[in-house]
Amino acid sequence: MGSTLGKFTDWTGITNIEGEKKAGEESRRIGEEQAGKQQQAVDYLSAQNELPNQLRQGAMQQYGGLYGIGGNQADSLAQLKQSPIYQGIMGTQQAGEESILRNQAMTGGFRSGDTQANLGKYGAQLENQALMQTMGGLQGLMQTPTYDRDIYSGMGGVANTQAQAQLAEQAGLLSGANQLRNFAQNERQYGHEVGMSFLGGGSGGGGGGMGM
């Protein structure tokens, strides 16, 4: 009977089942709270990422259009010439031409017939410089850093945190279920031992009576 009475100590284990369940639920709550904060960070980065992506995509479309890819080449070139870089460089053309004319006048170049050639050469070189620098600006915009990698990493972190929270809750439920199963098994074993004890005691008592 001593070993049978010891089974009563297993009854105290039933109180751990609810504790395991609550611990799992609390772990999930904390995990979901952390995932919520991570999602807020992802949302913030996504909002900040809109402008860099617009710059990159716009520059890529315009640059491609200059080569006849995805747009009209003439329209893309006209748009390029409206850029501040192009306008700023070409805005110096008049001053440059006046400098050439003054130099020609001082050296008597007007009589040589080189004036128009020098002006034409200067204008072509200046426009080429303006176009190259403007296209270089587009190339720079195409390389604008974005938060894409951070966003993808953050999304993975949110998913991982949520999964861990769910696993923690499931672990608590599983632990509680195992304890409940063990408790039920112990209870059945205890009932069996008690029954056998009574049967054994009854047989012994009957035998004693017959002996008398």
Residue in the block written with tokens 């003054």:
102
DSSP 128-166: HHHHHHHHHHHHHHHT---SHHHHHHHHHHHHHHHHHHH
Q: Poorest-confidence range of 33-42, 82-91, 134-143?
A: 33-42
- Reported as a single tens digit per residue, the pLDDT across 157-181 is 888 888 877 776 666 555 555 555 5
How far, in Å, CA of 48 to CA of 42, rounded? 10
Q: Would you tell me the crossing angle of helices 73-80 and 115-142 to the nearest 10 degrees?
A: 100
25: which 2 tokens?
């639920």
Amino acid at 89: I
pLDDT at 10 over 50: no
Span 7-31, mean pLDDT?
A: 63
Span 40-48, mean pLDDT?
A: 92
Q: Poorest-confidence range of 44-58, 87-101, 136-150, 191-205?
A: 191-205
Would you place residue 188 in the very low, low, confident or very high pLDDT band (cuts 50, 70, 90)? low
- Provide the percentage of residues in the chain whose pLDDT is more than 90: 29
31: which 2 tokens?
């995990």
Q: What is the pLDDT of residue 127?
A: 94
Other C-beta atoms closer than 10 Å to the C-beta of 9 total 9
Per the CB < 8 A criterion, the answer to whether 128 and 52 are in contact is no
pTM greater than 0.75:
no
Question: Coil, strand, or helix at residue 81?
Answer: coil
Task: Quote the mean pLDDT of the chain.
Answer: 76
90: part of which helix (H) or strand (E)?
A: helix 84-90
Distance of CA 19 to the CA centre of its chain: 35
Would you place residue 72 in the very low, low, confident or very high pLDDT band (cuts 50, 70, 90)? confident
Q: What is the pLDDT of residue 44?
A: 92
- C-alpha closest to that of 4 among 181, 194, 203, 199: 194
55: which 2 tokens?
């710059």
